[in-house]
Structure 1
């Protein structure tokens, strides 16, 4: 299970949520930056912004999955200890 492995490696739900919010900021920053320096214009800037913006839902989904795992893992350990 990937979520179990990520949890065991030290990844917490808060980290994944934070990465989601950072990726939203990076999406806006990459769109603005690309619009100013990209010779291909707005279309290319839009693609950069959308590409980076697609990371946010993935990070939020990982955060939710990790939060559920953490809750279940904590509940299991509180019952057995």
Structure 2
């Protein structure tokens, strides 16, 4: 799978950028959800955590792609 992603032009830098973007998006989703009327704090927490869980996946893909690039 990593080899195919690399063939399609995905680089490790793209995956790392996706990881950092998901962290930022996690904060944005949390604060937007907190600002909405009727949403509870628990719902805001769930949105932030849900999106925050994407970051480790992107970082792991970045490491795998970096190893693929060194071949």
TM-score norm. by structure 1 comes to 0.85
Instruction: Extract unaligned runs of 5+ from structure 1.
Output: 73-81
Larger radius of gyration: 1
CA drift of 1:48 comes to 0.1
Q: Aligned Cα RMSD in Å?
A: 0.8
**Larger helix proportion of the pair:** 1
Aligned residues: 71
Instruction: Extract unaligned runs of 5+ from structure 2.
Output: none
Higher-RCO chain (CA-CA 8 Å, sequence separation at least 6): 2
TM-score norm. by structure 2 comes to 0.96
Moved over 4 A (4+): none
CA drift of 1:38 comes to 5.1
Residue in 2 aligned with 1:60?
59
